[in-house]
Structure 1
Amino acid sequence: MINLSVILEDSARKYPDKNAFIFMDNHLTYAQINGAANQIAHGLVAAGIKKGDRVALSCLNLPYFPMVYFGILKAGAIVVPLSVLLKRDEIAYHLQDSGAKAYFCFEGTPELPMGTEGKAGFDASNDCKELYIITGKPSDPSPIQGEKTLGMLMGKQPVVFENVLTSADDTALIIYTSGTTGKPKGAELTHSNLLHNAMLSTDITDLVHNDRQLIVLPLFHIFAMTVLMNAGLYKGATSVLLPRFDAEAVLGLMQQHTITVFAGVPTMYWGLLNYENTKFDLKGIAKNLKTCVSGGAALPVNVLEKFEDKFEVPILEGYGMSEGSPVVTFNQKAFGKKPGSVGTPVWGVEVKVVDGEDNEVPVGEKGELIYRGHNVMKGYFNKPEENKVTLKNGWLHSGDVAVKDKDGFFFIVDRTKEMIIRKGLNVYPREIEEVMVKHEAVSMVAVIGVPDDESGEEIKACVVLQKGKKISEADLIAWTKNNIAAYKYPRIIEYMEALPMSATGKILKKELSKEITKTIH
């Protein structure tokens, strides 16, 4: 029998008075976080939540997130974390699809009215019976008249709770994948999936109990949840929380708290690299930083190399997905690293690159990346037909195109769903993006396919230029054409002030695809 909440409880026993989370001026100890989670568990059980019930959670990077998360787990229930950017119809879908019985929602801010949207989504769902508004202070009244608050649920509940027994293979989490096509699907992850992944993540980041890590990646996303929050709790480390990425705020917190471990997505490293103010002691920050990791999307080699030059700390890039709890491969300090690679398989996970018949392809050839091991989800919640496609003979089929080199390092070429077919030839956007970002005038680029009568699909590059740099569309097309095979260069270029981003910092290519321009050069 095992419950993921053991990672919090064990550290609360070992380090009761140590800071578990720091948010602004609030320092919360392991004993305080564990006690609050126990009160929430008591409240949920009193409200009728039973083992196996689903409970949804919408919360920014605040200490309330781990309190509620582990309160749900202690009660034997299943956490359904939701993106803080979801609107009411999307919230209603997630509550309905997961069959959530209760929903915790942060009140939000004037710019991000989470409480208003959450209440509307809750009202539109049929089976979700309890809504708890998370207020800025536990004693604050609900901003939505008549609704209960987290503070009211915790009330006078005891700070000691005897966990509801769960087994290693019981579902602990249903995490929704963004879904490149169709509606998002909920991946069911077990207590065992998440515990193993948190444990091996500490080896990747070289995390020990006296480390201080900065969590700016959203906690509702599996990357931050496992690799930072759960790994940090397992080791008894201190986590500094920041609800939203801002290069100045990140550098300020790194300096203030002598941060040793940082994880980000490529757009965050790009933001830190392009921050021009000199008011921070970058050498001091770099001296304290021992590990930087990147995941969530492909990190351009150009950004990786420039960041390492500026901050004198290597970035370890890895690969994972919600369905893999999430870590599948990583550049690990023990085995070395290769720029542009997502590394080698993590402990206990097997990885192969296969053709359409699931036969392993030779070294250096492209194919679909598949994997099996302790990290593989139980399946998509209530999606038996989808599971037949994704899970075959114990292997999870990622939908990602990869190559393995002679040293066993894996390189992600692209998503099969993002592949462009131009005049019958397969074109992978990542390959073009890697070339274009090397131009001195180019800061960021996202390549998509757009419908075209002659070619079937035409290649379009959405480009953000470096500050103060200029280049005409025709010249950039010509430069790219000189540096890549003739069938791969973009025929359409659109200059943009910024690229649309998800809450997790991924470039939203679906949004770019909606704004197709017809001007072909």
Structure 2
Amino acid sequence: MDRPWIRHVPKGNPTNVEIPEISLQALFFKSVETYADKVAMTFFDQTYTYQQLEKMIYSVANSLYNLGIEKGDRIALMLPNCPQYPISYFATLLCGGIIVQINPMYKANELLHVLNDSEAKVIICLDSLLPIVGEVKDKTDLMNIIPVSFESDSKFNELLIDKGHKLPEITIEPAEDIAVLQYTGGTTGRSKGVMLTHYNLVANTIQSYGTSQININTGEEKVLTISPLFHVYGMTSCMNFTFFIGGNLILVPRFEVEQTVNIIEKMKPSLFMGVPTMFIALLNYYHEEKQFDLSCLRTCSSGSAPLPVEIIHQFNNVSGSNVAEGFGLSEASPVTHRNPVEGLQKPGSIGIPIPNTDSKIVDLATGEETLPNGEVGELIIKGPQVMKGYWRMEDETNQVLRNGWLYTGDLAKMDDDGFFYITGRKKDLIIASGYNVYPVEIEDVIYKHPGVLEVAIIGVPDKYRGETVKAFVVLKNNASLTEEDLIQYCRDRLASFKVPRSVEFLQELPKTAVGKILKRKLKEQYS
């Protein structure tokens, strides 16, 4: 295979890395041995050393085992960025359990599907989410609900008490045993559980380090972590990566620009893995509110959605750093491509494949013919970070995993230097503020409104969010419905990032001769 990108790997960074056949928790505990007294996490005014973190993880693991958790059992985490997240994450792995990632913004129907599909036995959630969990509990296999409170004692605090239980030795087969079920939206409306093994996640952690190796001071870095850990990008590129390099994980529960600026000024983080909306908001604040010092940020990465080239240039100018845009997907743990941290960079591209990763562009008809440089086709990927498959969905797995290659569904091209460019998507996926939004999920909800005859959802460009959701609706005869009414209807039933930002009412939707709605026409005419 021709790999023109190899010549653009910065000197000092590897083109291949050695990936040990160990569990993800074993990788973490190696860092505990090396960086025992270093700060592992900061949460506002609280700090935790690697040694302290290890002790809390073992206490929670023992408590979970005492609740009856065994190897292969699923434990759902429905938490924002907070210390209880990494503690619960590694405690679950220590028990041989499988982590089920759940977005805290999910509504009841979304939560119910993930809990039932995964057959989770335990959910660890923020106390404010107890009403929504309680709403679905009786329809699930949940045996225990463990609330986390930032304000007072909670059931989670009881798990931290060392009760003297001894955790049995759990044997992990890294390439076979699942560490995380990362749910991704499904184009059929059914969310799919991506099975990420211990080996997948160990590999992607070490591969990610390989892309930054020449810029990393192990044991010294402070990593600004606002990207949610329940999202695969935050989980790997922030949490697992930071712990691997012995860094300080600065946990921020949600992105608020003024608070983020204060944290940057006070903590002086050196690394920042963000999404486009964060970079845009920080730039706007810098220009419109105050010119704060961004020079502490030596290395920045942007993922989850395309970052406008102009924003990259502006942010680099005010910070003095190089924002290295990359690419990934849940099915690849997630990182597959990244712009080099030094040497040739191409803003607007997703960069080059990371170590141990092959990538090529194939024809859309068969997916078997490799296309010449510059031609648009489907992006496919091969590497140790590629998922085991979709949880209990063999047909869907076979559609995207073929002969060792992951078919991404993204349209892309490669130039002569081996840099890749995303040009579109085979599916109608919308990426709003870094979150994947599948139109059919929103359409299914809107179609349930008694006044709606037809609906089509598309993504439209948005300078802040990258893309935003727009609904085109045809009402039933005599139905009376305003834009505000329909948006509120969706807000009550969908996570906020899926709610349409605008609604346009039409007399009819453009269709093919056989009645299929032409979303392409809607994009051309109205967006």
TM-score of the superposition, structure 1-length normalised? 0.78
1:174 corresponds in structure 2 to 181
Q: Shift of residue 298 of structure 1?
A: 0.9
Q: Residues 187 and 323 of structure 1 are in contact (CA less than 8 Å); yes or no, is this contact kept in structure 2?
A: yes
C-alpha displacement at 1:159, in angstroms? Answer: 9.1
Q: CA deviation at 1:462?
A: 5.6
The answer (yes or no) to whether the contact 1:20–1:239 under 8 Å persists in 2 is: yes
* Partner secondary structure for residue 368 of structure 1: strand
| 1:473 corresponding residue in structure 2 | none
Give the distance between the partners of 1:401 and 1:92, measured in 2 at CA: 33
Distance 1:513 1:406 in 2: 40
Q: Tell me by how many angstroms 1:278 deviates.
A: 7.4
Report the counterpart of residue 212 of structure 1 in structure 2.
Answer: 222
CA distance 1:150–1:277, shift in 2 (3 Å): same
| Secondary structure at 2:190 match in 1 | coil
Query: Is the alpha carbon distance of 1:458 and 1:81 closer, same or farther for their aligned partners in structure 2, counting shifts above 3 Å?
Result: closer
Q: What is the CA–CA distance in structure 1 between the aligned matches of 2:143 and 2:458, rounded to whole Å?
A: 48
CA displacement at 1:74 relative to structure 2: 0.5
Conserved 8 A contact 2:35-2:219? no
Number of matched pairs: 439
Instruction: Tell me how large the CA RMSD over aligned residues is.
Output: 3.2
1:150 maps to which residue? 156
In the alignment, does 2:120 pair up with 1:115?
Answer: no
Structure-2 separation of matches of 1:94 and 1:368: 29
TM-score (norm: length of structure 2): 0.77
- Is 1:164 aligned with 2:170? yes
2:190 counterpart residue number: 183
Q: 1:330 aligned to 311, 323, 338, which one?
A: 338
2:144 aligned partner, one-letter code? E
Shift, 1:507, TM fit? 10
Which secondary structure state, in structure 1, belongs to the residue aligned with residue 229 of structure 2?
Answer: coil
* Aligned-residue offset at 1:414: 1.4
Of structures 1 and 2, the one with the larger relative CO (CA 8 A, separation 6+) is 2
- Residues 166 and 273 (structure 1), Cα distance of their counterparts in 2 relative to 1, 3 Å cut: same
State the Cα distance separating 1:360 from its structure 2 match: 0.8
Flag the 1:311–1:154 CA change in 2: closer, same or farther, 3 A: closer
Task: Specify the alignment match of 2:419 in structure 1.
Answer: 409
2:208 match:
201
Distance (whole Å) between structure 2 residues aligned to residue 368 and residue 159 of structure 1: 52
Cα deviation, residue 461, structure 1: 4.7
Q: Structure 1 pair 248/103, CA: closer, same or farther in 2 (3 Å)?
A: same
Instruction: Write the deviation string for residues 327-352 of structure 1: whole angstroms up to 9, x where unpaired.
Output: 11111225631010101111111111
Which amino acid letter does the alignment assign opposite residue 140 of structure 1?
A: D
How big is each residue's C-alpha offset from its partner over 1:293-317, in whole Å with a ceiling of 9 and x where there is no partner?
0010111112212222222221100
Counterpart Cα distance in 1 of 2:260 and 2:53: 24
Establish whether residue 140 from structure 1 lines up as the match of residue 128 from structure 2: no
> After the TM superposition, which of the residue ranges 196-205 and 27-36 deviates more from structure 2?
196-205
Residue 329 of structure 1 aligns to a residue in which SS? Answer: strand
**Structure 1 residues 379 and 464, CA, compared in 2 at 3 Å: closer, same or farther?**
closer
Distance 1:151 1:513, change over 3 A: closer
Q: Residue 321 of structure 1 is aligned with which of 320, 329, 332? A: 329
Secondary structure, aligned partner of 1:204: helix
CA apart distance, 1:513: 8.9
Give the 3 Å change call, closer, same or farther, for CA 254–204 of structure 1 in structure 2. Answer: farther
Comparing 253-262 with 330-339, which one deviates more in the overlay? 330-339
Is the contact between residue 212 and residue 238 of structure 1 (CA under 8 Å) also seen in structure 2?
yes
Question: In structure 1, what is the equivalent of residue 366 of structure 2?
Answer: 357
Alignment partner of 1:515: what SS? strand
Structure 1 distance, partners of 2:305, 2:461, is: 17
Q: Tell me what 1:422 maps to.
A: none
- What SS does the aligned partner of 1:371 have? strand
In the superposition, relative to structure 1, how do residues 464 and 156 fare at CA in structure 2: closer, same or farther (>3 Å)? Answer: closer
| Residue aligned with 1:243, SS | coil
Alpha-carbon distance between aligned partners in 1 of 2:496 and 2:301, rounded to the nearest angstrom: 18
Q: Does 1:294 align with 2:302?
A: yes
- Counterpart of 1:93, as a letter, is H
**Distance 1:252-1:87 versus aligned 2 partners, 3 A rule:** same
The amino acid across from 2:182 in the alignment is I
Counterparts in 2 of 1:342 and 1:464: CA distance versus 1, 3 Å: closer
Pairwise CA distance, 1:290: 0.8
Contact 1:77/1:172, CA 8 A, preserved across alignment: yes
Q: CA deviation at 1:218?
A: 0.4
Residue 95 of structure 2 is aligned with which of 65, 75, 81? 75
The 5 A counterparts of 1:35-74 are: 35-74=55-94
> Unmatched 5+ residue regions in structure 1?
109-113, 142-148, 420-428, 434-445, 452-456, 466-493
Cα distance in 1, alignment partners of residues 458 and 105 from structure 2:
30
- Closer, same or farther: CA 166–326 of 1 in aligned 2, 3 Å: same
